[in-house]
Structure 1
Amino acid sequence: MKNKINISLLSFIFILFLNYNVLAAEPAGNTAPDIYGKAAITVDMQTGEIIYEKNSDIRVYPASTTKLLTAILLDKNRKQNDTLTYTKGAKVQPESSINKDIHSISVGDTLSAKDVMNGLLMYSANDMAYVIAENLSKDSNSFAEKMNEYVKKLNLKNTHFVTPNGLHNPEHYSTAYDMSIIAREAFKSLWIRNTMGTYQATIKTASGLALPIKNTNKLLGKDGCIGGKTGYTIPAGRCLVAIYNRNGKQILGVVMNSIYDPEDTYVFNDMEKIINWSYSETPVILYKKDSIIGKQFIKYRPLHFIGPYINLEVPVKVKDNVTYYANDLNKKELRKDIKLSNINSKALKGQVPLGDLAVKERDSSKTYKIYSALPKQELLKKSIPVYLKTLLLILICGLAIKIIYKKISQSFR
């Protein structure tokens, strides 16, 4: 009886040990955060890789994040010291305007383009968007045409703008993904970057007004946030674009249609969640370092410029880990393209790269060098018959030339 108990106990411990090892071998995983925003995305600013996404292709109303494109057009068409005129269209804009919230501005008063950009991006002033629209175009409708021309230039399929400030219109829409492209484009401008990263400023008009403003982005300067753009309308919900820099790695986040509460915290909490998760997320290894990723069928001429070709089935490998971020978009859209650019003996022997492997997702592409893993004896085995045939041909040609030369010489005697 005692022996049976001991055996049962040992069996239980053994099974427990096996189960522990199995569980320990499984990675814990890094579960993507659940947020209130209806749509969201994070993107590696350097590579363009999508790290996190939630409904990033559904159409939503962008509210004042629209002003990023308005800012791009101001940057493209005016200099900071240029003068802009306060217009009738600007005067009638609702709250979240300098004119309505801080101090009345007269139609015809003038401001520097720099101050208008400050009001647009820092305070998210609706009237400053119309100052830009009506100074750069004859009216806001003409400016909307310019906006949509730029949208086409960026190859955005799900964005259409009607107003320069993003106030609600059923035909004014975008997606989290498209807004990430617009934000990345905006961030290329030093003027826009500096403006988004400024805490407070004073807008001055030619009539003598001095109007202090503060940045509406509550995350600015916190945990690496270096800029962004807020937005809100009732149909759009709370929207936010934010750019972070932590230890030299820049990540862009977009949250659309989050909740607006009296303390205005939900959208900022959403952003912090997806950004923190994105910085901790580890890319998935698609191909391990030094692994064979497939075979390429190559026509190779052993004698380079002359002689016949031989057909080779060449295993190709990578010398670095090939990685990507696992998300729903990449599961459907990740593409792997191999381009051979260096077919010679050194490349076939693996001494130099044979070509490149491009791992693509939408507008992002990471390139890795690929190398031949063809056994040296295989290349030699395939090449020897060509060498022998060519040598035989040379000998026959040499003999024929010798005979012809001999006959020619005899005819002149």
Structure 2
Amino acid sequence: MRKYNNPLFSTLLERKPLLRVPLLLFFIALFSTSEAAVAPPPSPSPPSIDAKGYVLLDAYSGAILAQKNADMRVAPASLTKMMTSYVVFAELRAGNIALDEEVLISEKAWRTSGSRTYVEVDTRVPVQALLNGIIIQSGNDASVALAEHIAGDESAFVQRMNQEAKRLGLEDSHFMNSSGLPMANHYSTARDMALLGATLAKDFPELYKIHAIKSYEYNNIEQYNRNKLLWRDESVDGIKTGYTKAAGYCLVASAQRGDMRLVSVVMGANSTKSRAKATQSLLNYGFRYFKTRKLYDQGVSLATVRVWKGDTDNTAVGLAEPLYITAPSEQFGQMNANIEFNTKITAPVAVGDIQGTLRITLGEEETLLDERPIISLQSVSEGDLWRRVLDGIKMYFQ
């Protein structure tokens, strides 16, 4: 492997490797805006949280900033409706249903127990109103009605929920219904719920905004969002509450402050008050002591790599996705980026072929923060016979 070592925050440039230049400019801009910069205090331990489990996740980098029993399988209660909403959002984006489309309410949906949107059997209700009922009021009846409308019956819809969960990498989640009512083999984890919350905001930014609505009226009944943090913290814009006797009081919340979005999951708190307090403590901790920065964008050339036996000698390489890093504020000046290329890359080369690895490390100990595959951004065709023979000779003597 050939290595390109690149200090992220260095004022010396002996040479001009492509990988070094953009990060140098980024961190100079970040750390030299004040003549007398004061180093931030070291990050303390996470706050004490009275709950069965919790996770604090950065939505852009995927970094876990705090956790307790993150992978413990528990009853998710109405947090289930996040996956229900995800499937509905996907159907809307695909054009299979529309927000103004009317849904016939079945007797099963009408009779569903628990929290309700107060839809009436044999009436027709727009998809938009049912979505409001699911997300804002946590209506079990609305969940069943939309599930039946989309998939024919709730069990078929639940199969779709589990397929999406698997595709999204929710490794410890399995759903048995669309509402979150207690059933055997219906479970999730704090980690999976955090990932799902971040994915909802990322994949469906416009529809996600429904989660921030504080109240709505249906059938002459004013119904209020059960996420009380929407009234207390203007940076909070979602996502979902939940409660059953088995699950306890649960809350998935997301907040955006500046360029940083955090997702907090609290599972198994002992009251609505304690879940809100725990969530606020986690969010404040994350925003106070951590920062998230985009180090590289997707499709931007980070370096060039030698290609043998091709119709050209080099190809640009970069990342398939943006690279975000979340770390304690004081650590950004101690990071390094290392790119390792595969040895002796030969044509043909296609766009997207993996050519090496980019690693972001911390300090002299080189603690690994993240690593990503480096891909070809340009294709290289096989060269003519003369170039192939000549490069073959050169490769032999290298």
TM-score by length of 2: 0.63
2:90 aligns with 76
Of the three residues 79, 88, 92, the one matched with 2:111 is: 92
In 2, Cα distance between equivalents of 1:137 and 1:269: 38
Which structure 1 segments of 5+ residues have no match?
Answer: 1-26, 100-104, 204-208, 285-299, 306-321, 327-335, 345-353, 370-389, 394-413
Could you tell me which residue of structure 2 aligns to residue 244 of structure 1? 255
Give 1 or 2 for the bigger CA radius of gyration: 1
Structure with more of its chain in helix, by fraction: 1
Query: Greater CA deviation, 265-274 or 81-90?
Result: 81-90
Q: 1:358 Cα deviation (Å)? A: 3.1
1:211 shift after superposition: 3.2
Q: 2:275 aligns with which of 267, 277, 280?
A: 267
**Whole-Å separation in 1 of the counterparts to 2:174 and 2:285:** 31
- Cα deviations by residue, 1:16-41 (Å, 9 ceiling, x for unpaired): xxxxxxxxxxx765121111121111
- Structure 2 residue runs of 5 or longer lacking an equivalent are 1-40, 92-96, 293-305, 310-323, 329-336, 346-354, 362-368, 375-393
CA shift, 1:201, in A, is 1.4
By how many angstroms is 1:251 displaced?
0.7
Q: How does 1:125-204 map to 2 (within 5 A)?
A: 125-187=139-201, 188-203=203-218
Per the TM alignment, residue 67 of structure 1 is displaced from its structure 2 partner at its CA by 0.3
Indicate conservation of the 8 Å contact 1:75/1:191, yes or no.
no
* Matched residue, 1:122: 136
> In the alignment, residue 220 of structure 1 is paired with which amino acid?
L
Contact kept in structure 2, 1:255 and 1:270, CA below 8 Å = yes
Give the structure 1 partner of residue 299 of structure 2: none
- Secondary structure, aligned partner of 1:339: strand
Cα distance in 2 between the residues matched to 1:106 and 1:278:
44
Q: Which amino acid aligns with 1:93?
A: T
Listed one character per residue, the Cα deviations across residues 48-83 of structure 1 (whole Å, up to 9, x for unaligned) are: 221111111111111001001111111222221111
Supply the distance in 1 between the matched residues of 2:156 and 2:53 (Cα, whole angstroms). Answer: 30
DSSP 3-state at the match of 1:65: helix
The correspondence for 2:223, drawn from 188, 209, 213, is 213
Q: Establish whether residue 58 from structure 1 lines up as the match of residue 72 from structure 2.
A: yes
Paired residues of 2:357 and 2:371 also in contact (CA < 8 A): no
Structure 1 residues 338 and 54, CA gap change in structure 2 (3 angstroms): farther
User: Quick one: distance in 2 between partners of 1:167 and 1:355?
Assistant: 47
**Counterparts of 1:282 and 1:221, CA distance in 2:** 24
Residues 233 and 197 (structure 1 numbering): CA distance in 2 closer, same or farther, change over 3 Å? same
2:158–2:175 contact (8 Å) kept in structure 1: yes
Shift in CA distance, 97/191, structure 1 to aligned 2, threshold 3 Å: farther
Q: Structure 1 residues 366 and 47, CA, compared in 2 at 3 Å: closer, same or farther?
A: farther
Equivalent position of 2:321 in the other structure: none
Give the C-alpha shift of residue 154 in structure 1.
1.3
Q: Distance in 1 between the 2:291 and 2:129 partners?
A: 42
Shift of the 186–33 alpha-carbon distance from structure 1 to 2, 3 Å rule, reads same
Q: Which residue of 2 aligns with 1:310?
A: none
Check the 8 A contact 2:209/2:237 in 1, yes or no: no
- Structure 1 position 253 matched with structure 2 position 267: no
Q: How far has the Cα of 1:283 moved from its partner?
A: 7.0
SS in 2 for 1:98: coil
Letter in 1 for 2:340: K
Offset, 1:192: 3.3
Quote how far apart the aligned CAs of 1:343 are.
8.3
Does the 8 A contact of 1:122 with 1:196 survive in 2?
A: yes
Supply the distance in 2 between the matched residues of 1:95 and 1:368 (Cα, whole angstroms). 47
Contact 2:239 2:252 in 1 (8 A): yes
Do 1:89 and 1:134's aligned partners in 2 also have CA atoms closer than 8 Å?
Answer: no
| Amino acid aligned to 1:247 | G
Contact 1:118–1:201, Cα closer than 8 Å, also in 2: yes
Indicate conservation of the 8 Å contact 1:71/1:192, yes or no.
no
With a CA cutoff of 8 Å and minimum separation of 6, indicate the structure with the bigger relative contact order.
2
- Give TM-score scaled by structure 1 length: 0.61
TM-superposition CA deviations, 1:277-298 (whole Å, max 9, x none): 11122479xxxxxxxxxxxxxx
Deviation at 1:341, TM superposition (A): 6.4
How many residues align? The count is 281
